[in-house]
Amino acid sequence: MEYVYLILIGFVAGILNTLAGGGSMLTLPILIFMGLPPNIANGTNRVAIFIQNIFGTAGYKSKGMHTYPFSIYFGISALLGAVIGAKFAVDIKGETFNKILAIVMLLVMGLVVYKPQKKINIEERLKGKYLWYGIIAFFFIGIYGGFIQAGTGFFILLALTHINHYSLLKSNITKTAVILIYTASALITFAYYGKVNWEYGLSLALGGATGAWFSSRWAVNKGDKAIRVLLIIVVAVMSIKLWFF
């Protein structure tokens, strides 16, 4: 029953991570509740993250959607940062961190979701200094993602929508590819130090992969409006959970 439970939780997390972010806010506490030490829960979660993003990327590609080569540029930058973050990964304790993260997530929601009408058709910025701004931003996002992962999707959406002026749909497509790339290095690091429970991780990944596949294809059909609504709901719920529980 533990494995069935993890598959179901992974399915929900896969949907959240692919369409908005915050799935690790659900999976990490569950893994710890099931008896894993926090650092092993952190490493085990990367198995699901890695596999679900393979399927999420494949789902977008099956609809003819990708952001190559920029997803590769940003992904490699994040990978380098994730190597650093994963090496320093430890249990992040206390209500203080949760409350700070809740505030950050609410700020991200306000910045990503609120788009004045005059900026809807604004031109993408993917060359010159803006490309380098994005690469630098993703290096630091990679450090955070390698360290704990939870909430990384929101930081990626923030960077892509405000630095590079990507739509939410393109931001989600890029996010999925970038997380896939940098999670590889984080997972290898956790596995090297024996901080992965493969049975739990693969069970979580089975559900996550299924959720990511269907939600990525759904996102292409529904577009930015549906993603924005879901993003508001996810951030609000996760922020309340972090602050009060």
Report the percent of the chain where pLDDT is more than 70: 76
Query: How do residues 196-225 score in pLDDT, each as one tens digit?
Result: 999 999 999 999 888 888 877 776 666 556
Q: Which two tokens stand for residue 236?
A: 């609000």
Sorting pLDDT into bands at 50, 70 and 90, what band is 162?
Answer: confident
Stretch 77-84: mean pLDDT? 93
CA distance 126 to 123: 9
Query: How do residues 90-110 score in pLDDT, each as one tens digit?
Result: 555 545 555 665 676 666 566
What's the Cα-to-Cα distance from 197 to each of 24, 88, 139, rounded to whole Å? 16, 19, 27
Lowest mean pLDDT among 14-28, 102-116, 167-181, 229-243: 102-116
Query: How do residues 36-55 score in pLDDT, each as one tens digit?
Result: 887 888 899 999 999 988 98
- Model-level pTM? 0.77
| Per-residue model confidence (pLDDT) at position 26 | 77
Give the DSSP H or E segment for 138. Answer: helix 128-147
Sequence-separated (6 or more) residues with CB below 8 Å from residue 236: 106, 109
Handedness of CA 237, 240, 243, 245 (dihedral sign): negative
| Per-residue model confidence (pLDDT) at position 118 | 42
Stretch 16-33: mean pLDDT? 78
| Per-residue model confidence (pLDDT) at position 225 | 66
* Angle between helix 224-244 and 198-222 (nearest 10): 140
| Per-residue model confidence (pLDDT) at position 157 | 85
Please provide the average confidence, as pLDDT, over all residues in the chain.
80
CB atoms within 10 A of CB 126: 16
- The torsion angle over the Cα atoms of residues 40, 27, 5 and 227, rounded to 10 degrees, is -150
Alpha carbons within 13 A on the beta-carbon side of 137: 19
| Per-residue model confidence (pLDDT) at position 120 | 45
20 in Cβ contact with 156 (< 8 Å): no
